[in-house]
Each structure stands twice: as structure tokens, then as C-alpha cells.
Structure 1
Amino acid sequence: MNRWTELTGDTSGEDYAARFAALARSGKDMHGEARFCSALVPSAARVLDAGCGTGRVTIRLAELGYDCVGVDVDPSMLAVARKQAPHLPWFRADLAAFDPAALGIGTGFDLVVAAGNVFALLAPGTEATVVRRLSAALRPGGLLVAGFGLDEAHLPVEPALTLAEYDDCCSASGLAPVDRFATWDAAPYDGGGYAVSVHRRPETI
């Protein structure tokens, strides 16, 4: 069982959506992740939102003209996403067993994004498998973008994945590091407790 399911019981979709709706009403910028991704690939690019939750990032990217697919393990989160954007493709899948062909969505994505502490909330020991499966969904030259907390101040659970371990997972899947930031606003990474990492699949395998 992944750490998200242990934490929430896969029943927190409506509460999660309400919390972000309140933040949006307060004037907080809710689209940093989508803006970050849109600076990396051109409009109309194929984007996979891995661990899409209630669809906040997927929906915004679709509004900006991207060809988006959302995948999540939590049915309560996907229920909210489907209600908010029934025209977009949403799929339930555990990323450790993610198989694009079985879902009928194919591969060849220009960018895969894993926001919202997705990697920090996987079942410990599955991180390399998830990176391998997400990498396989990319086109040659495609990008994997992941943002997650590294300490207790940035996570709802005890930290279980370091940046060095994540980089090792990426390297084992043939992904090359491109850049790393401290926030989705692309602030330089200074060794703090949150990081946004960009890796690229080689143009040739």
C-alpha cells in the first residue's frame, strides 16, 4: 500500500478540493506547477499528470492548450477531477503498476509531471519502478518533472526519499538531469526542504 492511501484511506477528495478552493479564494496563486510546465514544452504538447489528484494541474494545462491525461490511484480524488472536467481523460492506476498500453493512452508524452509530493507518498521501495514506468511513457527527449518535500516541514509523513536516491532512480532509467529548483516558480535550489527536479529521456535509446 502506498503512503497516500495509508494517510487518507483514499477518501479525501472533496476535502482536498475544498482546501485548495479556499486558498484560491484567498488570492493564492494556484497555477505555479502548470506555469512551470508550460515554460518547458510548447502548447499542444502531450502531458501526463502522474498522481493528478483532483486535477488542478491537468485542468489548467488543458486550458492552456495542452493535450493532457490525468492518472491517480485515489478514486475520491478522481471523482472530483471528473466532476470538474468531464471532458478530460482520467484514469485510475497505481503508478508502481502503471501501464499506458493497458489504459489505452499510449506513450510518447512530451512531459510527465508528478507534483503534490507524489514521489514522497509512494510505497517505500517502489520509487525506482515508478520512475522507470513514467520514463517509458515519455517520447525520446521528453521530460520528467517531479516536485516533492524532503523534510517534515514539507511533508505530511516522515521523509523517506532523498534527492540523491531520486537521482539514482532517474539515472537507472536512463534519464539525465536537466535542472533543479526550490519552488514551482523556478527559484534556485539552495539545499532546502523542497525541490522540483527536471530530467530528460535521451533522444536515442
Structure 2
Amino acid sequence: MLAAMSRWEELTGGTSGQDYASRFAALAGSGKDMHGEARFCAALVPAGARVLDAGCGTGRVMIRLAEQGYDCVGVDLDASMLAVAQREAPELPWFQADLARFDPAQLGITADFDLVVAAGNIFPLLAAGTEATVVERLAAALRPGGLIVAGFGLDEAHLPVPPSITLPEYDDCCAAAGLTLVDRFAAWDADPYDGGGYAVSVHRR
């Protein structure tokens, strides 16, 4: 049976890797801080910790964390995005996989991550109906006590697609996977969550 197409694939056709990388390169060139996600993650776990970048895209977050001494693995469904990541950091482990079918053992990865990060609107861009499965699979990749952090938009102003998952729905998925909410922020700079259209949520296994 064919897997349902993700909203990301519907949006981009799976060919947007270089365009995506160029857009972020331009933002970096303009002086914009591009490392908020990595800085946020570094405040959660010490250097040397194992980090799974779930939906790693072109590798911007993971490459920065690896430079800071983290033991990182990147997984993404989009081959065009992974091609950019592999070109930028060929020494790092990048894997093509559907998060709804993510099985570390099949990829030869040990499932004892200290932190799973899902940045870049991963959950709103999943295939419809797979959100709970993805949370379950990512939670299973964590060691006991490990953390999962996910940042995503909740309204049309913060998303390239119509909103598809609310915070209560995401929390329910996490609870079903044995995860407990630790904290929630309004952005990757760790401002307190204020009920706005973007949230960064930290849950613990």
C-alpha cells in the first residue's frame, strides 16, 4: 500500500532543496541569526549528547549542533533537501526515511537519543493522520528521560499550509506515546508562550 503524500510533498513536489538552502543563505547574509534552534537545543542537553534531527531538511540545525560537539543523526523524507545536507556536511550521518515509518534499527541506528528535535513546521507538514504515529516513533527513539522538542506554526500567518494540528492535539499525541510536557515557549529564543500562533514544546519521555 502506498504511503499518503505528506503536506510537504504536496507543497514542494520534493524538489525544493536548493531553493530552500538559498533562501536561508540569503537570510544569513543579511545578518539574521540562523542558529536559534541549535542554541535552544544546546541549552537542553550538554555537548556530546546524542541528537536526532527529525525532518532535518538541508541540515542547518544539525550541522551547527555537530560543530558544537553533539553526536547527531539527521532523517528526512525529501531527497532534494538531503542532497544539500550531504553536500554541506558529507561526514555526518544523513538518512532518507518517512518519519511515520521511522525505524532506527532498519537504518542501523541505536535508539537511545538524548534529544529529538523537530524544527521547521514538521508536524503541520506531515501526511494527514500520521501525527500520532510520528510522535510514537520519535518517542521510541529516546532514551528514558530523553527530550523531544518541536516548534511549529498554529495559524495561517505562521504556516505555508492550512493549520492541521493544535497544541492540545499534539499534547494528546505526546501523552499517548508516554511523553510529559516540560515547558512551552513562543519561539526558539525561549520567550514564554503567550497563546500566539507559534509554539516550541518540550516533552520528556
TM-score range, shorter chain: over 0.9
Give the structure 2 partner of residue 32 of structure 1: 36
The root-mean-square deviation of aligned C-alpha atoms, in Å, is 0.3
Question: CA-to-partner distance for each residue in 1:26-63, whole Å, 9 max, x for gaps?
Answer: 00000000000000000000000000000000000000
**Number of residue-to-residue matches in the alignment:** 201
Compute the TM-score of the two structures, normalised by the length of structure 1: 0.98
In structure 2, give the amino acid aligned to 1:114.
Answer: A
Secondary structure, aligned partner of 1:39: helix
Secondary structure, aligned partner of 1:111: strand
Structure 2 CA distance for aligned equivalents of residues 160 and 46 of structure 1: 30
Q: 1:115 aligns with which of 112, 119, 123?
A: 119
Structure 2 CA distance for aligned equivalents of residues 61 and 108 of structure 1: 18
Moved over 2 A (4+): none
Question: CA-to-partner distance for each residue in 1:68-112, whole Å, 9 max, x for gaps?
Answer: 000000000000000000000000000000000000012000000
The answer for unaligned runs of 5 or more in structure 2 is none
Q: Does 1:5 align with 2:9?
A: yes
Secondary structure, aligned partner of 2:145: strand
Structure 2 CA distance for aligned equivalents of residues 129 and 50 of structure 1: 14
Give the structure 1 partner of residue 182 of structure 2: 178
Structure 2 CA distance for aligned equivalents of residues 38 and 116 of structure 1: 17
The answer for unaligned runs of 5 or more in structure 1 is none
Alignment of 1:71-110 (within 5 A): 71-110=75-114
Shift of 1:124: 1.3
Give the structure 2 partner of residue 136 of structure 1: 140
Give the structure 1 partner of residue 47 of structure 2: 43
Identity of aligned residues (%): 81
Secondary structure, aligned partner of 2:44: coil
